[in-house]
Structure 1
C-alpha cells in the first residue's frame, strides 16, 4: 500500500502544481488586459486634454488675448501710464 500512497501523493502534487500554474496564467492574462485598458484610457485622456488646451487657445485668440500657455495669464505690455512720470 505504501507504493500506492506514494503514487497518489505524486499525482496530487502534480495536479496541484498544474492548478497553481493555470491560476497564475489566468491572473497574468487578466493583469495584462487591465494594464492595456488603463494605458489606453490614459492615452485617450491625454488626447482629450490636448484638444481642450487647443480649444482654450482658440478661444483666447478669438478674444484677442495672447499668451504662451493657457495656465499663464498674459501680462500687459509695459506701457507708460498717465500720471506715473514715464514718457
Structure 2
C-alpha cells in the first residue's frame, strides 16, 4: 500500500474531508470566475446599448414600441 493509503476509518474520514474541501475550493474559484465574466459581459452590453442609442439618435432614428423604427423626419 502507498504511504497515503488510509488504514483506519479515521484516516479515511480525514482523506475524504480533505478531498471535499479541495473540491469546494475549486468550485468556489470557478464560480467566482464565472460571476466575474457575467458582470463584465453585462457592463459591455450596457456600453453597447448606449452606443447604439447614441448612433440611432445621430442618425435621426427614433425607437418605437416593438421593433419598428422609422426616421424622425418621416414621422407623420
> Shorter-chain TM-score: what band?
0.7 to 0.9
Pick closer, same or farther for the CA change 1:45–1:68 going to 2, 3 Å.
Answer: farther
Normalized against structure 2, the TM-score is what? Answer: 0.76
Deviation above 4 Å: which 4+ runs of structure 1?
none
* Larger Rg, first or second structure (1 or 2): 1
Normalized against structure 1, the TM-score is what? Answer: 0.67
Shift of 1:68: 5.2
Unaligned runs of 5+ in 1: 1-10, 80-87
The number of aligned residues is 67
Q: How far, CA to CA, are the matches of 1:68 and 1:57 in structure 2?
A: 12
* Higher share in strand: 2
Instruction: Say whether 1:72 aligns with 2:32.
Output: no
SS class of match (2:49): helix
Alpha carbon RMSD of aligned pairs, Å? 2.0
1:40-79 to 2 correspondence within 5 Å? Answer: 40-67=36-63, 72-75=67-70, 77=75, 79=76
Unaligned runs of 5+ in 2: 1-6
1:1-87 to 2 correspondence within 5 Å? Answer: 12-67=8-63, 72-75=67-70, 77=75, 79=76
